[in-house]
Chain A
Amino acid sequence: MNQTIYYKSKKVLVNTLVHIFLISVAITCLYPLLWMISSSLKTQDMIFKDISLIPHQFRLENYVLAWKGGGFGRNFLNSIIYTVSVVFGIVIVSSMAAYAFSRLRFVGSKFLFVMFMAAMMIPIPGSFVALYVLLNKLHLRNTPIGYILCMINVGLSTSIFMLKTFFDKMPKELEDAARIDGCSKIGIWWHVALPLSKSVLAVVVVFNALAVWNEYILALIIFDNRSFMPLQVALQSFQGEFVTNYPLLMAGLTITALPIILIYLLMQKYIIKGVTQGAVVG
């Protein structure tokens, strides 16, 4: 009897501690988001005077001002085009490359794979000037296509690594069956490998979409024309060297965060599965 009470109390205590820990982690994650939304509804001086999360007056016009002042319309469209194009390019190239590295035997495959992995170690800002000079020579500087190609290149290494890890574990019998049914190598990649790797692809899509959506330094460097800039560059217009327009910046950030939160929510179930299947197991 005493033992049962002991075990029950122990379970309650452990559960309480685990919940307290999880709640505190959740608060840590959610608080910045709530602060961002709250600040987007305040005036500049209220942000510094009033620390409560619920503003005394809701200034919804901050969203309109941010949209107009930051020139969000064109930049928003640009960001969507860049994100879709880059993620599409990465999914196609990285899945083909990962499948080739996993299944095809050719001279130098290991060396090439190591080279791709080594690219993961190079910090992106370190390659900016080199990329600029290269794009300039190719006459692709200040063009969306140049930016898209650079961003595809940036996302390839990690995506290939994740997909190759998954393809390595994929049963070979499935491919044999497809081959008997008359599938070519491309056919196997399209009809067998890609559908099976849906969950890993979801992770690749979300990770890369997030990276492209939030990128601004490369865009700022290679674009001279403001009409090509992505959304994140527009956000910087609220952030000065000494003065930052916090209400408009926070309104802009809220607008910017929405699409990416939406993508995450839509793909949530695949992401958890994908991370455990591809990235972690590898």
Chain B
Amino acid sequence: MLFKNLFLGTFILFSVLGCSGQKTSSKPTINIWHWMTDRDPAFQELAKKYEALTGVKVNFELYAPSDAYSQKIRAAAQGTNLPDIFGILGEKRDFASFIRAGHILDLTSYMEEDNSKWKNSFFAKALAVNEFSPQNSYGIESGIYGVPIDIMTIQMVYNKKLFSQLGLNPNRPPKTLKEFLAIGPKIQEAGLQGLVSGWGEVWMVDCLANNYAFNIMGKDKVLATIRGEVPYTDPDWIRVFTVFKEMKESGVLAQGLVTMINKSAEQLFANEKAVFAFNGSWCVNVYKGMNPDLEYGSMLPPAASDKYPMSIWGGAGSSFMVNARSKNKEEAVKFLAWLTGQDQQAYLAAETNNLPANKNSLSKIPEVLAQFARGMDYATHPNVWGVSEFSLVIEAFDRGIQSIIIGEKTPEQVAAEVQKVKERELAKRKAR
């Protein structure tokens, strides 16, 4: 009797739970999966506005953190259960694999309607991340496959109050590497921390090193190096490595920088213990939460050479793609066009402190955000270079810089080691 009741109870429980998943609605609904926790309330608000305007219901579903979101998107792609609109987090090759599998709609024709009105409303560099050029190395048909929702740049920030304390002009951050290095001894004397950043998460070291590579040798030579036409032992590359040695020796870098995670770096800067930080434009929101009274400004990394302009990483911060198999794809495109309109972008920027992707929406954003946005003129990103460096070379490159900072290796040694890895990888590729 007891067993009978037990199994009957289990059956009823499972049946009830199993049936509760079925819901039907006659209203047209656009489903969007996103990972942007900080933007969710603003998205929900915009969804309500859109429904009031058009009668089309937009359902933003938040799946955070981003790692889990990526797994969900991959799993959904396998089961062809992707929503109408989604994002892809990862490298351009991941993006390309989704397009190749037929999951992403080519938006070029929509972007180019009305004399490219929609396309021209974006920062060109923000769109470039979602664009595949003719004869790209991924084998994707040229076109625009994503819509940037916001943009980001990675630059330096400096604490204005600490600048005054060090006897420096808070409205004139260092423009050259020489000026920057001269601040090192003053920082040491005052017992402060210099430059903080998440260099424990090595990609940020890679980012600054690439900024200096573009500044010292220019874009063409950097890309030629990636293609294997210029060795890393070239004097220009040794100069790039030497920049980090000079920073270390001048005392302008914070203690423990090579193992520092970005959250710790942000905390040190927000608590006014560090004079400089190398961080992305998302930091505006982070610092606001940690210390609303923080007085700081953004600046380009100080130039090591006047031969080429300083370059920074930037482009689309977050982008949305339309599911090519969705029955609501036309509605989805219309919604994205509305979402990236001037007013909606200004609203998103004001609510979330992210830089708008629509270049016409910059007028009403805070000054520090505008400073970051102005950095878009100098922005580049590995995803738009059309060539990718081998992962093992990137790793050797970044670890090498860390070794230089901790005084383990010289720039020449690191250059030789990176070149060795590069030659090995090139030989492997040739053998394939």
Which residues, 44 to 92 on B, are CB-close (under 8 Å) to A?
61-66, 68-69, 71-72, 74-76, 78-79, 81, 83
User: B235 within 8 Å of A by Cβ?
Assistant: no
The closest CB in chain B to the CB of A229 belongs to: B63
A133 to chain B, nearest CB (A): 6
List the A side residues contacting B320 at CB < 8 Å: none
A148 to B20, CA, bound (A): 14
In the complex, which of the residues A186, A241, A243, A245 contacts B65, with contact meaning CB atoms closer than 8 Å? A241
Indicate if the CB atoms of B64 and A239 lie closer than 8 Å.
Answer: yes
A136 to B78, CA, bound (A): 10
List the A side residues contacting B270 at CB < 8 Å: 48
The closest CB in chain A to the CB of B81 belongs to: A136
In the complex, which of the residues B14, B36, B81 contacts A240, with contact meaning CB atoms closer than 8 Å? B36
In the complex, which of the residues A44, A225, A237 contacts B21, with contact meaning CB atoms closer than 8 Å? A225
A76 to B238, CA, bound (A): 57
Quick one: CB contact mask for B202-230 with A, threshold 8 Å, 1 for yes?
00000000000000000000000000000
Indicate if the CB atoms of A49 and B40 lie closer than 8 Å.
Answer: no
List the B side residues contacting A142 at CB < 8 Å: 21
Indicate if the CB atoms of A237 and B64 lie closer than 8 Å.
Answer: yes
Indicate if the CB atoms of A125 and B65 lie closer than 8 Å.
Answer: no
In the complex, which of the residues A81, A136, A216 contacts B79, with contact meaning CB atoms closer than 8 Å? A136
User: A129 within 8 Å of B by Cβ?
Assistant: yes
Indicate if the CB atoms of A240 and B64 lie closer than 8 Å.
Answer: yes
Quick one: CB contact mask for B6-20 with A, threshold 8 Å, 1 for yes?
100010011001101
A245 to B37, CA, bound (A): 10
Given A48-B270, A129-B78, A221-B71, verify A144-B17 contact (CB < 8 Å). yes
Instruction: Report the count of interface residues on A (CB-CB < 8 A).
Output: 41
Indicate if the CB atoms of A148 and B14 lie closer than 8 Å.
Answer: yes
Indicate if the CB atoms of B37 and A241 lie closer than 8 Å.
Answer: yes
Instruction: Report the count of interface residues on B (CB-CB < 8 A).
Output: 47
List the B side residues contacting A99 at CB < 8 Å: none
A166 to B1, CA, bound (A): 27
Indicate if the CB atoms of B291 and A228 lie closer than 8 Å.
Answer: no
The closest CB in chain A to the CB of B76 belongs to: A132
User: B292 within 8 Å of A by Cβ?
Assistant: yes
In the complex, which of the residues B65, B79, B83, B286 contacts A239, with contact meaning CB atoms closer than 8 Å? B65
List the A side residues contacting B282 at CB < 8 Å: 241-243
Indicate if the CB atoms of B290 and A221 lie closer than 8 Å.
Answer: no
User: A88 within 8 Å of B by Cβ?
Assistant: yes
Indicate if the CB atoms of B72 and A220 lie closer than 8 Å.
Answer: yes
Indicate if the CB atoms of A242 and B286 lie closer than 8 Å.
Answer: yes
Indicate if the CB atoms of A143 and B17 lie closer than 8 Å.
Answer: yes
In the complex, which of the residues A49, A220, A240 contacts B37, with contact meaning CB atoms closer than 8 Å? A240
Indicate if the CB atoms of A132 and B66 lie closer than 8 Å.
Answer: no
List the A side residues contacting B18 at CB < 8 Å: 140, 143-145
Most buried by B among A44, A125, A145, A238: A145
The closest CB in chain B to the CB of A216 belongs to: B68
Indicate if the CB atoms of A224 and B78 lie closer than 8 Å.
Answer: no
A224 to B73, CA, bound (A): 11
A267 to B21, CA, bound (A): 34
List the A side residues contacting B13 at CB < 8 Å: 85
The closest CB in chain A to the CB of B75 belongs to: A132
List the A side residues contacting B21 at CB < 8 Å: 142-144, 225, 228
List the B side residues contacting A243 at CB < 8 Å: 37-38, 282, 285-286, 289
Which residues, 136 to 156 on B, are CB-close (under 8 Å) to A?
none
List the A side residues contacting B296 at CB < 8 Å: none
Report the 3 A-B pairs with minimum CB-CB distance, sorted nearest first. A240-B37, A145-B18, A132-B75
17 other A-B residue contacts (CB within 8 Å) besides A145-B18, A225-B21, A240-B37: A44-B290, A45-B290, A85-B17, A125-B71, A129-B74, A136-B81, A141-B81, A143-B20, A144-B17, A190-B2, A217-B68, A221-B72, A224-B83, A228-B21, A237-B37, A237-B62, A243-B38
16 residue pairs of the A-B complex, CB under 8 angstroms, read A85-B13, A132-B75, A132-B76, A145-B17, A186-B3, A217-B68, A224-B33, A226-B62, A238-B37, A240-B38, A241-B35, A241-B37, A241-B65, A243-B37, A243-B286, A245-B289
Chain B interface residues (CB < 8 Å from chain A): 2-3, 6, 10, 13-14, 17-18, 20-21, 23, 31, 33, 35-38, 40, 61-66, 68-69, 71-72, 74-76, 78-79, 81, 83, 267, 270-271, 280, 282-283, 285-286, 289-292
Chain A interface residues (CB < 8 Å from chain B): 44-45, 48-49, 81, 85, 88-89, 92, 125, 128-129, 132-133, 136, 140-145, 148, 186, 190, 216-217, 220-221, 224-226, 228, 236-243, 245
